[in-house]
């Protein structure tokens, strides 16, 4: 069984990191994983997207045109990628920055005001953690407890950021499970 998720947003929103956290958690669960960034001539504020493939067997093509799921952190990302998600996939919409919806009847929309939650917790920078935990909880792509540990270890060298990111994680989890 193979599942793919595309994370997309502005450069600087932590797209690559949230994708890496998910890949790390899947690896710890014993899955085969692949993390594929878009690496055009990018800049802060430009578009960034990254695909994570999780499978129970060797992963073939790194070229994923139709991912199972999408985490859209800004409006251009949703508009660009909503149509390529496979039916029944989860489409996470960061409603803080996206006033529209996917326009699809055959996917599960997960509406998360990630920026507002993050600002409420103290820093907009943890919006990506809110999103990745909400996504993981809703999609079941990885075990959320393992993902939580991965978030913790990612910030091990900046320990003062751990409580903020744990709060962000728990807020995301709450929305993802509701």
Partner 1 sequence: MAKVLMKGNEAIGEAAIRAGCLNYFAYPITPQSEVAEYLAKRLPEVNGVFLQGESEVAVGYMIFGAAACGERVMTTSSSPGVSLMSEAISYIAGARCPAVFVNIVRGGPGLGGILPSQGDYFQATKGGGHGDYHMLVMAPDGVQEAVEMTMRAFPLAEKYRGPVMIMGDGLIGQMMEPVEFPDNLYTPPTNKDEWATTGMDRRNSRKKNIVKSLYLDPAILNSHNMLLKSQYDQMKREEVRFEPYNIDGEYKALVVSYGTMSRVCKTAIDNMKTEGFEVAMIRPQTLFPFPEKAIHEAAAKESCQCVVSIEMSMGQMVEDVDRSVKGQKPVTWFGQCGGEVPTPEAVMEHVRSLV
Distance between CA 69 and CA 107 in Å, rounded? Answer: 9
Nearer to partner 1, 37 or 76 (CB): 37
Among 65, 145, 159, 160, binds partner 1 (CB under 8 A): 65
11 binds partner 1, rule: CB under 8 A:
no
CA atoms in the 13 A half-sphere facing the CB of 7: 30
Contacts (CB under 8 A) with partner 1, residues 100-159: none
46 binds partner 1, rule: CB under 8 A:
no
Among 10, 17, 29, 37, binds partner 1 (CB under 8 A): 37
Torsion, CA 58, CA 64, CA 69, CA 74, rounded to 10: 140
Distance between CA 113 and CA 130 in Å, rounded? Answer: 9
What would the two tokens of residue 89 be? 């996939």
Cβ at position 46, least distance to partner 1 in Å: 14
CA atoms in the 13 A half-sphere facing the CB of 118: 25
Cβ at position 49, least distance to partner 1 in Å: 13
In terms of residues, how long is the chain?
178
Cβ at position 39, least distance to partner 1 in Å: 5
33 binds partner 1, rule: CB under 8 A:
yes
């Amino acid at each position: 069984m193979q599942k793919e998720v595309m994370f997309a947003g502005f450069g600087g929103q932590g797209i690559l990191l949230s994708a890496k956290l998910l890949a790390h958690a899947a690896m710890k669960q014993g899955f085969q994983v692949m993390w594929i960034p878009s690496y055009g001539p990018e800049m802060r504020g430009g578009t960034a997207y990254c695909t994570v493939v999780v499978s129970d067997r060797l992963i073939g093509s790194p070229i994923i045109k139709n991912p199972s799921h999408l985490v859209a952190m800004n409006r251009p990302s949703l508009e660009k990628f909503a149509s390529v998600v496979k039916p029944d996939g989860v489409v996470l919409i960061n409603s803080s920055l996206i006033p529209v919806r996917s326009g699809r009847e055959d996917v599960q929309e997960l509406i998360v005001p990630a920026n507002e939650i993050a600002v409420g917790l103290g820093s907009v920078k943890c919006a990506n953690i809110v999103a990745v935990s909400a996504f993981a909880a809703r999609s079941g792509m990885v075990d959320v407890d393992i993902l939580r540990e991965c978030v913790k270890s990612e910030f091990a060298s900046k320990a003062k950021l751990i409580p903020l990111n744990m709060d962000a994680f728990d807020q995301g989890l709450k929305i993802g499970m509701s």
